[in-house]
């Protein structure tokens, strides 16, 4: 009896240790106040709460998900691990912003199920961006991807995956099955194992675009195995994407796409050394690219400025990586006078004179106004809602002294009318007063404005690197009110405008303009009055009820401070107010489907409409005359009585006829 009791105690303790807990995240799921995902318990809550799968989410920290390998559904079998977010009946249709963070050790072990990944099934118009999966172990049956199992008309950008993905058919390093979805600026180092339609990025690309992606993991399968895509349909577009011919196990030039149905010039197999050379991704004449990838250093033919990619010898084994991955810590070796880019911090440092030791620097950028201790230097009235904290570690600290230059990213600081009235401020810590860096020997260069301000000829003797830095301006530089968002949407009463401020300084209120004509002011509308000086976020809303159909309107904001100065924001929003509803047959959803799908169509006016469905031979399998309403109509089609295959559905209303294709997969 004692031994049995001890067994029950140990079993109960084990179950308790490995039990998963759902903790609701902060936020309300709106675009302005997204749910903030900070832990694996928040992720588990997300996977369970189906009603929230159309909301906004933002990950605010790296998440350790290694405990998911011990998560159990309680069915007495093997541990199933994490429950995917989104399924066939309830797809994820929201927005997940990884915000430059990772999820480590995610485990899913559901070999008998379909639609497996962190997100099992997405629908129009979900977005997933700036997220990394490391040491992921993902196993399912079919439609399996590390990030998304089935990606329906959704966008995945600036993401990466590492680990392993396993299944039967439609298995991909990032996405298992892609239909009408966009994958752009992503990469995978995951090993991918399956039977058919197995790809380093996507298993089956049914339609739309796979652009600027690369894979380096080992890919194995029996049929339709590709370094980038396993199977690509005639409507699938693959552009400027790469796979590693040495590490993938797919060495031949035709191995980029398993079924070889696209122009292979758009899919490039390269060796490891070639993929560690930035010219491979940016030199059009060398590689035959249609467009250069957007790299931080703008080499060769890359003239873009979003700077999605970077490459160096020490990160991602020398292969390209996403700029948000880069650490804010850099060690500068002695005698190294090359510019050093702190990508996440938006600063560049260059040592100009001899330094006799290695210097390790940490730069942190904070997107808010710093607290001001004491008075500002003469002529400076405002500081920007952005500042940098720099810390150093040096083996020979505090000597020797050396000179250096600093460059600061000022892009996104709104309302600056004259860049040459700006300056750089510095202080030793948060309890010290700001000093004008020009008074400490620095020389400013504005030749790269509005993107960058550079400071030359600084000496660690007068301006040590262990300091804080910010941008200061005159009477209206930069704006005393920092906008976090500005949007417009149609409503029953007109056009509803929403905007949010990160912080406010001496803000009397706002003036709102439609097509350059004032339509609202804080002077006579209390909803537009400002919050004075506020370090917290504030939300504003205004409804314009004097709009007409078949018109396009452009809205702009201005703010007024306590001194009466008016500050204009460059950001505008546009609303197109449509008139009469047009006749249109929409793409069915989901597609492929099993066994049910929804067919939606728009009618100009109420009346009869005939919906027919044909098989591939032209035989009518469905024929229904409907009494349709003006606007959007929906019809459910159940294909349980017909076989798998391609079908065509046609809508006829008067003289209007439209036809589309769909696929039933059982």
Are both 404 and 463 inside the same structural domain? yes
Instruction: Work out the average pLDDT over 389-407.
Output: 74
Domain CATH code at residue 522: 2.60.40.10
Instruction: Work out the average pLDDT over 450-475.
Output: 89
| Measured distance between the N- and C-terminal CA atoms of the chain, rounded to whole angstroms | 52
- Measure the CA–CA gap between 461 and 664, rounded to whole angstroms: 72
- Measure the CA–CA gap between 367 and 188, rounded to whole angstroms: 30
- What is the secondary structure of 311-338 as a DSSP string? --SSSGGGS-EEGGGS-SEEEEPTT--S
Neighbour order of strands in the sheet with 382-394: 329-332, 359-366, 382-394, 468-473, 423-427, 435-436
Helices (H), 114-271: none
Burial of 271 (0-12, 13-18, 19+ CB in 10 A): middle
- Measure the CA–CA gap between 138 and 501, rounded to whole angstroms: 40
Q: Which pLDDT does position 12 carry in this prediction?
A: 38
Q: Which of 222, 122, 127, 103 is nearest to 167 (CA)?
A: 222
Tell me the residue length of the chain.
666
233 and 206 Cβ atoms separated by less than 8 Å: yes
Burial readout 576-603 (b: 16 or more C-beta within 10 A, e: otherwise):
eeeeeeebebbbbbbbbbeeebebebbb
> How many other CB atoms are found less than 10 A from the CB of residue 175?
38
Instruction: Work out the average pLDDT over 98-124.
Output: 95
Residues 6+ apart with CB under 8 A from 70: 17, 18, 79
Give the pLDDT confidence of 197-213 residue by residue, as tens digits.
Answer: 999 999 999 988 999 99
Query: Structure pTM?
Result: 0.56
Give the pLDDT confidence of 78-96 residue by residue, as tens digits.
Answer: 889 999 999 999 999 999 9
Q: Which pLDDT does position 579 carry in this prediction?
A: 57
Asked if pLDDT for residue 16 goes beyond 60, the answer is no
Give the pLDDT confidence of 216-245 residue by residue, as tens digits.
Answer: 999 999 999 999 999 998 888 999 999 999
Are both 416 and 431 inside the same structural domain? yes
Residues 6+ apart with CB under 8 A from 110: 80, 81, 116, 139, 140, 141
Are both 381 and 245 inside the same structural domain? no
Helices (H), 509-640: none
Instruction: Work out the average pLDDT over 609-625.
Output: 89
252 and 225 Cβ atoms separated by less than 8 Å: no
Instruction: Work out the average pLDDT over 61-89.
Output: 89
Report the percent of the chain where pLDDT is more than 70: 90
- Measure the CA–CA gap between 215 and 227, rounded to whole angstroms: 7
Of the two residues 559 and 144, the one the predictor is more confident about is 144
Confidence of residue 471 (pLDDT cuts 50, 70, 90): very high
Measured between alpha carbons, how far is residue 196 from residues 113, 292, 395 in Å?
A: 16, 32, 55
Are both 549 and 411 inside the same structural domain? no
Asked if pLDDT for residue 119 goes beyond 90, the answer is yes
Q: Look at residues 545, 577, 609 and tell me which one is the last residue of a structural domain.
A: 577
Domain CATH code at residue 606: 2.60.40.3080
138 found inside a domain: yes
Of the two residues 27 and 337, the one the predictor is more confident about is 27
Tokens 């939300």 identify what position? 539
Domain CATH code at residue 33: 2.160.20.110
Give the pLDDT confidence of 578-612 residue by residue, as tens digits.
Answer: 655 667 888 877 777 888 888 988 888 788 899 99
Instruction: Work out the average pLDDT over 89-112.
Output: 95
Are both 170 and 27 inside the same structural domain? yes
418 and 450 Cβ atoms separated by less than 8 Å: no
Three-state SS for 405-442 is EEEEECCCCCCCCCHHHCEEEEECCCCCCCEEHHHHCC
Number of domains observed in the structure of the chain: 5
- Measure the CA–CA gap between 621 and 611, rounded to whole angstroms: 11
Three-state SS for 348-398 is EEEECCCCCCCEEEEEEEECCCCCCCCCCCCCCCEEEEEEEEEEEEECCCC
Q: Look at residues 577, 612, 645 and tell me which one is the last residue of a structural domain.
A: 577
Distance of CA 600 to the CA centre of its chain: 29
102 found inside a domain: yes
Are both 260 and 382 inside the same structural domain? no
Are both 262 and 137 inside the same structural domain? yes
Instruction: Work out the average pLDDT over 307-328.
Output: 82
Instruction: Work out the average pLDDT over 121-141.
Output: 96
Are both 383 and 445 inside the same structural domain? yes
**Mean per-residue pLDDT over the chain, rounded:** 86
Measured between alpha carbons, how far is residue 545 from residues 514, 558, 576, 578 in Å?
A: 12, 20, 14, 15
9 found inside a domain: no
Phi and psi angles of residue 98, each rounded to the nearest 5 degrees, phi first: -70, -20
Query: Which residues is 203 bridged to in the sheet?
Result: none
Dmax (CA) for the chain in angstroms is 87
386 found inside a domain: yes
8 found inside a domain: no
Which tokens go with 32?
Answer: 């302005």
Report the percent of the chain where pLDDT is more than 90: 46
Are both 517 and 656 inside the same structural domain? no
497 found inside a domain: yes
1 found inside a domain: no
Q: Which pLDDT does position 569 carry in this prediction?
A: 80
Q: Which of 148, 161, 160, 83 is nearest to 121 (CA)?
A: 148
Measured between alpha carbons, how far is residue 419 from residues 254, 348, 451, 473, 480 in Å?
A: 52, 19, 10, 9, 16
Are both 289 and 396 inside the same structural domain? no
- Measure the CA–CA gap between 100 and 19, rounded to whole angstroms: 29
6 found inside a domain: no
Are both 157 and 257 inside the same structural domain? yes
Asked if pLDDT for residue 662 goes beyond 70, the answer is yes
Instruction: Work out the average pLDDT over 26-37.
Output: 93
Q: Look at residues 577, 610, 628 and tell me which one is the last residue of a structural domain.
A: 577
Of the two residues 42 and 506, the one the predictor is more confident about is 42
Q: Which of 554, 509, 505 is nearest to 530 (CA)?
A: 509
Are both 164 and 231 inside the same structural domain? yes
- Measure the CA–CA gap between 614 and 635, rounded to whole angstroms: 16
143 and 149 Cβ atoms separated by less than 8 Å: yes
Asked if pLDDT for residue 283 goes beyond 90, the answer is no
Asked if pLDDT for residue 99 goes beyond 70, the answer is yes
Enclosing domain of residue 430 = 328-473
């Amino acid at each position: 009896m004692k031994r049995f009791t001890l067994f029950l105690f140990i079993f109960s303790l084990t179950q308790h240790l490995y039990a998963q807990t759902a903790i609701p995240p902060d936020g309300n799921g709106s675009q302005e106040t997204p749910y903030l995902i900070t832990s694996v318990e928040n992720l588990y809550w997300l996977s369970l709460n189906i009603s929230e799968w159309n909301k906004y989410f933002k990950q605010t920290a790296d998440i350790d998900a290694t405990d998911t390998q011990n998560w159990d559904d309680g069915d007495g079998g093997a541990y199933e691990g994490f429950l995917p977010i989104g399924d066939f009946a309830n797809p994820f249709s929201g927005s997940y912003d990884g915000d430059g963070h990772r999820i480590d050790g995610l485990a899913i072990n559901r070999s008998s199920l379909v639609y497996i990944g962190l997100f099992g099934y997405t629908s129009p118009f979900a977005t997933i961006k700036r997220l990394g999966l490391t040491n992921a172990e993902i196993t399912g049956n079919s439609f399996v991807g590390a990030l998304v199992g089935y990606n329906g008309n959704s966008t995945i950008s600036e993401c990466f995956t590492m680990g392993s993905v396993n299944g039967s058919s439609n298995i991909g390093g990032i996405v298992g099955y892609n239909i009408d979805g966009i994958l752009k600026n992503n990469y995978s180092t995951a090993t991918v194992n399956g039977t058919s339609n197995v790809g380093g990025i996507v298993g089956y690309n049914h339609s739309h675009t796979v652009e600027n992606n690369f894979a380096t993991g080992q890919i194995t399968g029996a049929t339709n195995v590709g370094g980038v895509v396993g199977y690509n349909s005639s409507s699938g577009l693959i552009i400027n994407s790469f796979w590693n011919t040495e590490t993938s196990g797919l060495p031949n030039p035709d191995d980029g796409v398993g079924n070889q149905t696209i122009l292979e010039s758009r899919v490039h197999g390269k060796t490891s050394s070639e993929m560690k050379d930035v010219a491979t991704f940016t030199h059009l004449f060398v590689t035959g690219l249609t467009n250069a990838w957007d790299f931080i250093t703008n080499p060769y033919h890359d003239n873009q400025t979003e700077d999605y990619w970077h490459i160096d010898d020490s990160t991602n084994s020398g292969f390209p990586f996403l700029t948000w991955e880069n650490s804010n810590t850099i060690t500068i070796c002695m005698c190294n006078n090359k510019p050093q880019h702190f990508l996440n911090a938006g600063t560049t440092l260059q040592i100009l004179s001899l330094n006799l030791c290695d210097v390790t620097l940490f730069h942190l950028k904070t997107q808010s106004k710093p607290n001001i201790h004491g008075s500002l230097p003469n002529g400076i009235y405002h500081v920007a809602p952005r500042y940098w904290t720099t810390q150093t570690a040096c083996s020979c600290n505090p000597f020797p002294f050396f000179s250096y230059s600093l460059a600061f990213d000022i892009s996104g600081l709104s309302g600056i009318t004259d860049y040459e009235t700006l300056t750089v401020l510095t202080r030793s810590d948060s309890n010290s007063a700001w000093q004008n860096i020009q008074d400490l020997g620095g020389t400013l260069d504005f030749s790269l404005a509005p993107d960058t301000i550079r400071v030359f000829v600084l000496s660690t003797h007068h301006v040590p690197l262990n300091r804080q830095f910010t941008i200061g301006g005159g009477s209206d530089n930069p704006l005393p009110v920092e906008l976090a968002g500005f949007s417009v949407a149609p409503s029953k009463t007109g056009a509803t405008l929403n905007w949010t401020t990160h912080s406010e300084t001496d803000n009397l209120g706002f003036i709102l303009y439609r097509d350059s004509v004032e339509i609202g002011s804080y002077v006579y509308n209390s909803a537009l009055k400002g919050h004075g000086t506020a370090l917290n976020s504030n939300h504003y809303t205004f409804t314009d009820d004097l709009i007409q159909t078949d018109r396009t309107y452009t809205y702009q904001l201005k703010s007024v401070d306590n001194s009466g100065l008016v500050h204009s924001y460059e950001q505008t929003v546009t609303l197109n107010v449509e008139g009469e509803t047009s006749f249109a047959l929409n793409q069915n959803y989901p597609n492929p489907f099993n066994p049910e799908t929804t067919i939606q169509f728009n009618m100009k006016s109420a009346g009869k409409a005939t919906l027919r469905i044909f098989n591939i031979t032209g035989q009518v399998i469905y024929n229904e005359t409907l009494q349709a309403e003006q606007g959007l109509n929906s019809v459910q089609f159940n294909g349980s009585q017909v076989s798998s295959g391609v079908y065509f559905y046609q809508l006829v209303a008067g003289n209007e006829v439209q036809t589309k294709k769909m696929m039933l997969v059982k």
